[in-house]
Amino acid sequence: MNRLSRSILSVFAATLVCAPAIALAQQAQVQGDVLLIERVQEEPGNLPSRGMSMSQVEARFGAPSDRLDPRGGQKRQWPTINRWTYPAFTVYFERSKVIDVVMTKADPNEIGPKPPTT
């Protein structure tokens, strides 16, 4: 066998050895991602919906665990964003209306967003 044939054979053998490990790692990653997505799909009624006011959110879900400092508002085109944290999610308000809700991790092993920074 010449040098080129041995190189090709080595690459092929390495691919056969590594392919199952790569496939398992990818499958584990996908399964972790699906857990958060499935949990969000299971709890759509248990989250504030876009357009709710701050008072509606507080009336339905109670007082937040923490009200983070507002961001933005320096210019008219940069509206003030308020963030309220609850144990299972964080609510983002533009001025006083919900614009987004982000689920927090259920446990350290779940793949999902990091907690908001203060």
pLDDT, tens digit, 9 for 90 and up, residues 6-37: 666 666 565 656 556 565 555 555 554 555 55
Query: Hey, what amino acid is at 97?
Result: K
Distance, in Å, from the CA atom of 69 to the CA atom of 84, rounded to the nearest integer, reads: 9
Distance, in Å, from the CA atom of 95 to the CA atom of 114, rounded to the nearest integer, reads: 23
Structural contact between residues 115 and 108, judged by C-beta atoms closer than 8 angstroms: no
pLDDT at 107 over 90: no
Q: Are 70 and 35 in a shared domain?
A: no
Q: Are 7 and 38 in a shared domain?
A: yes
Q: Are 53 and 97 in a shared domain?
A: yes
Distance, in Å, from the CA atom of 26 to the CA atom of 56, rounded to the nearest integer, reads: 41
Q: Domain of 30? A: 1-42
